[in-house]
């Protein structure tokens, strides 16, 4: 960044509020300042300056590009993006100070912080994109930044059918599961489409359902008229005030839900979700797993993280009795996402293995009923 551009940015920022978001107003102000300070500045620099003042600097064009799904920074000179599930190195180069400045602006609206005592942070950007940052000495030298862009994908199962992510027959089956109050687990790898499918499933629920969602950061986007979204909170500088996912689940059950949703189970909160399911609360969650069978194995392991008094002889039959449906999604090598398996759980356990029956499975690229 040239000295003249930096000078204009500093001057524009001195004339607007830090949280200024009116891009048209800021752009006019940039033009005025450029005319005063550097009248020979190229027109392209005006947009660049506006991005630094009202947007997120050099990353703003990537955030504006609808084909970009994810952005990550390994170091200021290596900024990558993903398009259609495939990664590529961009030509963008930033300084360490620019990366920190952009992250600080991203966190400003979230109320979350990152520092030596709290070297990781998850936050939601104003447009719904998810931000994750890790800093040294957790990382070796540079701030590591991941931005998973919020892309308003399919809002309904019908739109997923049109996108060939599942068949009409499978969609009708899943709608019946939702209407019947089945407990559904959506599984798959990162970026396989778990959140998109959960949105579509939940948007197929009755308008009379009261849905309470619990997430680490807000990602689900529902159309339900009776929906309350809850997210976790990190501790304050004094080390107090943290609201973990387990607390959210317990509080959600006091809010008269007819359907409880946990955005993603990763640790001991799985136990609280199983307890809710066991009490007759129709529930849904997502989980990272490589297959429907591996999903069941993981669901029986995570609750035991809650303490040594939680044993397998309790967890395994509980999972078998409360989980009704496992839907596994995957992303192919060409970036295409879709459902690979829909399985029913019978409730029976044989030699410590939960009995499962695949109802739909993808064969030769097509999801077929078995």
- Determine phi and psi for 98, rounding to 5 degrees: -65, -40
157-369 homologous superfamily? P-loop containing nucleotide triphosphate hydrolases (3.40.50.300)
**Mean pLDDT of successive 10-residue segments in the chain (370 residues)?**
65 61 66 74 67 77 91 96 90 94 88 88 88 94 92 77 92 96 96 92 95 94 94 82 94 96 96 95 96 96 92 94 97 87 94 94 88
What is the CATH code of the structural domain delimited by 3-148?
Answer: 3.30.450.380
Residue 357's DSSP bridge partners are: 344
Give the pLDDT score at 332. Answer: 86
Query: DSSP class of residue 115?
Result: B
CA 302 to mean position of chain CA atoms: 20
**DSSP H/E element including 354:** strand 353-363
Encode 209-242: b = buried (16+ Cβ within 10 Å), e = exposed: bebbbbbbbbbbbbebebbebbbbebeeeeeeee
* pLDDT tens digits, one per residue of 202-216: 999 999 999 999 999
Q: Are 180 and 224 in contact (CB under 8 A)?
A: no
* pLDDT tens digits, one per residue of 131-150: 999 999 999 999 999 999 87
* Domain chopping of the chain, boundaries: 3-148, 157-369
């Amino acid at each position: 960044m040239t000295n003249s551009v930096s000078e204009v940015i500093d001057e524009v920022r001195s004339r607007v509020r830090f949280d200024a978001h009116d891009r048209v107003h800021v752009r006019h102000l940039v033009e005025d300042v450029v005319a005063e300070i550097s009248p020979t500045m190229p027109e392209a620099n005006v947009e660049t300056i506006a991005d630094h003042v009202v947007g997120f600097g050099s990353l703003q064009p990537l955030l504006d590009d609808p084909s970009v799904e994810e952005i990550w920074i390994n170091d200021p000179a290596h900024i990558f993006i993903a398009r259609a599930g495939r990664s590529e190195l961009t030509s963008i180069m930033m300084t360490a100070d620019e990366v920190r400045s952009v992250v600080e602006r991203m966190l400003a609206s979230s109320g979350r912080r990152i520092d030596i005592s709290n070297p990781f942070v998850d936050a939601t950007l104003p447009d719904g994109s998810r931000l994750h940052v890790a800093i040294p000495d957790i990382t070796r030298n540079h701030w590591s930044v991941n931005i998973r862009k919020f892309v308003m994908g399919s809002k309904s199962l019908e739109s997923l059918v049109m996108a060939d992510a599942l068949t009409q027959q499978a969609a009708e089956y899943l709608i019946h599961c939702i209407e019947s109050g089945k407990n559904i687990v959506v599984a798959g790898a990162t970026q396989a489409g778990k959140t998109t499918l959960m949105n579509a499933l939940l948007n197929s629920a009755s308008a009379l359902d009261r849905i309470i969602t619990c997430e680490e950061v807000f990602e689900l986007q529902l159309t339900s008229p009776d929906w309350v979204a809850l997210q976790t909170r990190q501790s304050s500088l004094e080390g107090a005030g943290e609201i973990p996912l387990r607390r959210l689940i317990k509080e959600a059950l006091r809010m008269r839900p007819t359907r409880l949703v946990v955005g993603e189970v990763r640790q001991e909160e799985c136990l609280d979700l199983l307890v809710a399911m066991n009490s007759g609360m129709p529930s849904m969650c997502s989980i990272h797993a490589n297959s429907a069978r591996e999903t069941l194995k993981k669901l029986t392991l995570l609750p035991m993280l809650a303490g040594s008094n939680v044993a397998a002889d309790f967890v395994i039959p509980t999972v078998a009795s409360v989980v009704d449906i496992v839907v596994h999604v995957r992303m192919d090598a060409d970036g295409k996402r879709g459902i690979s398996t829909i399985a029913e759980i019978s409730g029976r356990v044989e030699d410590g293995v939960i009995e499962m029956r695949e109802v739909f499975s993808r064969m030769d690229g097509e999801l077929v009923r078995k």
